[in-house]
Amino acid sequence: MSFFNTTGRAVCGLVAAAAAAFSFQAQAGGHGIDLTGKTVEWIIPFSETGGSAKWANFYAPLLSEALPGQPTVVVKFMPGAGSTKGANWFQEQAYEDGTTIFGSSGSTQFPFLLGDPRVKYNYADWNVVLASGTGGVAYLPPDMAAKMDGMDATGLQGEDFIYGNQGATRLDLVPTLAWEMLGLNVESVMGIKGRGDGRLMFERGEANIDYQTSSSYLKGVTPLVEAGTAVPMMSWGALDAGGNIVRDPTFPDMPTFKEVCEATPACETSGEKWDAWKAFFIAGFPAQKMVFLPNGASNDAIVTYTKAFEDVKARADFAEISAGRLGKYPQMTGDAAKQALQSGTEVAPSAKDFVVGWLEERYGVTLK
């Protein structure tokens, strides 16, 4: 659990805060909630070692400072069942006073998209106030990376790989499907509580292929790369305005999966498997992490949190401090966040049908 507050300021700071609160209420048409003296619990349905933890811990002190009354913001971790445990808990929470918020991830969105029977939550009941895009990077030990011929992964096809997997219906299906498309033999060790635990397996030599979302890669894997114990294989890429996969702006010197696929004869960037991979990549990464208020949240609370995140984004130092922690991705509020939520919780029926069939064939998971 992580705690953040901004107490202990001088009188001039309190005056400034009061002026900011007055300005906020004026801009919001007189609406808003006051969180003075309160504690906001930010529920993260993963362990404290992964990308969601790093994302929430980055935002928490900034959110504390931006919210009216500067409440303490506590990041509370609730891992289990690939994040469905925490999401199901949040679904049961009714709005009270704006002191409970939830951080979703692609690994929470995918079970919802696929009709996982453990899902008891519905995104339509929640109120999105922030959507954060991100990327992902796959990486290898140096001896395995040396078997690649430039971007051609053919040299890896005869190797046996072990991967720490959060669950078949989680965000991990993006890397596992990608590796299968490249012709790699990857055995998943199921049930880890977060991607940070997968990285720890890699560090201990229990896994020899891994991927992390950008925030976790920047914080946890970059030191391994600098120490020579990990080598980046590829990023998943990013989307341009036309919906095309291009290089990730955080990792512009790193090839995308599309480039590696194009360079590997066994892999194809067309057909139903590629279309399904791209659909779930889009659902899982451009709107990869989101902040919600629970069912029944008042408009005043939604306005308050939206304005707070907008103020965080408007900080003069935000671009600099966020680039090194989150990467260079859109941070969306208002209508943009709602559109991101829609793209993250909808896929074409053909893509869903393919993945449902693939999960049954590959892992024996029945979702029909």
The DSSP line for 275-319 is HHHHHHHHHHSTT-EEEEE-BT--HHHHHHHHHHHHHHHTSTTHH
pLDDT of residue 12: 36
Phi-psi bin for 290: left (phi > 0), alpha (psi -120 to 50), beta? beta
* Residue 100: per-residue pLDDT: 98
The per-residue pLDDT for 51 is 85
What pLDDT was estimated at residue 31? 66
Determine the pLDDT at residue 22: 36
Q: Which residues of 213-231 are buried (b: 16+ CB within 10 A; e: fewer)?
A: bbbbbbbbbbebeeeeebb
Closest listed residue to residue 251, CA positions, set 238, 262, 239, 264 = 238
The per-residue pLDDT for 221 is: 97
Q: Say if strands 331-332 and 231-235 run parallel, antiparallel, or are unpaired.
A: unpaired
Q: Where in the chain is the domain with CATH 3.40.190.150?
A: 2-134+286-344
Return the CATH number of the domain spanning residue range 136-284+351-358.
Answer: 3.40.190.10
pLDDT at 354: 97
Which residue ranges does the chain devote to CATH 3.40.190.10?
136-284+351-358
6 phi/psi in degrees, rounded to 5: -130, 40
Q: Can you give the pLDDT of all 368 residues of the chain as single tens digits?
A: 766 654 433 333 333 333 344 344 434 444 689 999 999 999 999 989 888 999 999 999 999 999 999 999 999 999 988 799 999 999 999 999 999 999 999 989 999 999 999 999 999 999 999 999 999 999 999 999 999 999 999 999 999 999 999 899 999 999 999 999 999 999 999 988 888 999 999 999 999 999 999 999 999 999 999 999 999 999 999 999 898 999 999 999 999 999 999 999 999 999 999 999 999 999 999 888 999 999 999 999 999 999 999 999 999 999 999 999 999 999 999 999 999 999 899 999 999 999 999 999 999 999 86
Contact (Cβ atoms closer than 8 angstroms) between residue 95 and residue 305: no
What CATH number belongs to 2-134+286-344? 3.40.190.150
The answer to whether the CB of 61 falls within 8 A of the CB of 27 is no
Q: What per-residue confidence (pLDDT) applies to 4? A: 65
Of 293, 181, 219, the residue nearest 57 (C-alpha):
219
> For residues 168 and 190, is the Cβ–Cβ distance under 8 A?
yes
> Within a 13 Å sphere around the CA of 261, how many CA atoms are in the beta-carbon half?
21
